[in-house]
C-alpha cells in the first residue's frame, strides 16, 4: 500500500505521463540512499508496477544498491557539476505549471533561497593535533532544508552518469530510444 509520500511522487509522475506530449516519457528515478534499502526498494517497486520497466530507470550507486549516495565525495561532485552548468548558463527549467509542480513559483522561490545559502563548509577538528578537516556541502542553515538544491544536483549528475551506464544503454536500445 503506497504511503502519502509515495502518492505525491506517483501523482507527479502520473501528471507528466498524462500529457500527450510526454506520452512516451522515460522516467529516471534517483532516490537518496539515506532512506533504508527497504524503503528504496519498496518505492522503486511501486514506480515499476505503475509505469512498467520499459519506462523506468532506477539509479544505482557504485555499490549496485538502488538509490544514489549523498555522502561528502558525491555531494562535492554534484555541487561542482551544477556550478559549471550555472556559470556557463547551460541549465534550463521546464515551466509547465501543470507538470513541474502544483506551486511552481513557490518551488522556484525555495530553490533560489536554498541556492543562496548552499556552501562548501570546512570544519576543523576539535583537537588540531588529531583528526581531519571535514568538508561538507550543504544549504542547511538555521534549520532550513536543502532538498531542492540536492534534488537538482542529483538530477543533473545522474542524467550524465546514466548515459554511460550499460544497463541504461541496453534499455534504450531495446525500446528504440536514442540516447
pLDDT of the residue at 17:
84
Check residue 98 and give its pLDDT.
Answer: 53
Give residue-wise pLDDT tens across range 20-79: 887 777 788 888 877 677 788 888 888 888 888 777 877 777 666 777 888 888 888 888
Mean pLDDT for 139-149 is: 77
Structural contact between residues 82 and 156, judged by C-beta atoms closer than 8 angstroms = yes
pTM of the model: 0.70
Consecutive H or E run containing 158:
helix 147-164
Pairing mode, if any, of strands 27-29 and 56-58? parallel
Tell me: the pLDDT tens digits for 73-107? 888 888 888 888 878 777 766 655 555 455 667 77
Give the start-to-end residue ranges of the domains of the chain: 1-69, 70-150
**Alpha-carbon distances of 157 from 12, 50, 64, 70, 130, rounded to whole Å:** 21, 25, 17, 12, 34
Please state the rounded mean pLDDT for residues 105-123: 82
Contact 153, 146 (CB under 8 A): no
Label residue 162 by pLDDT band (50, 70, 90).
confident
Amino acid at each position: 500500500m503506497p504511503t502519502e509520500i509515495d502518492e505525491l511522487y506517483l501523482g507527479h509522475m502520473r501528471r507528466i505521463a498524462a500529457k500527450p506530449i510526454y506520452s512516451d516519457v522515460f522516467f529516471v528515478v534517483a532516490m537518496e540512499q539515506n532512506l533504508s534499502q527497504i524503503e528504496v526498494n519498496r518505492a522503486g517497486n511501486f514506480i515499476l508496477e505503475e509505469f512498467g520497466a520499459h519506462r523506468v530507470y532506477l539509479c544505482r550507486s557504485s555499490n549496485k544498491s538502488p538509490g544514489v549516495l549523498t555522502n561528502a565525495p558525491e555531494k562535492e561532485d554534484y555541487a561542482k557539476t551544477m556550478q559549471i552548468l550555472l556559470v556557463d548558463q547551460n541549465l534550463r527549467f521546464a515551466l509547465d505549471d501543470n507538470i513541474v509542480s502544483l506551486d511552481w513559483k513557490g518551488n522556484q522561490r525555495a530553490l533560489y533561497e536554498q541556492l543562496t545559502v548552499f556552501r562548501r563548509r570546512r570544519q576543523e577538528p576539535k583537537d588540531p593535533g588529531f583528526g581531519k578537516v571535514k568538508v561538507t556541502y550543504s544549504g542547511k542553515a538555521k534549520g532550513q532544508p536543502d532538498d531542492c538544491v540536492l534534488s537538482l544536483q542529483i538530477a543533473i549528475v545522474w542524467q550524465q552518469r546514466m548515459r554511460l551506464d550499460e544497463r541504461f544503454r541496453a534499455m534504450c536500445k531495446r525500446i528504440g530510444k536514442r540516447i
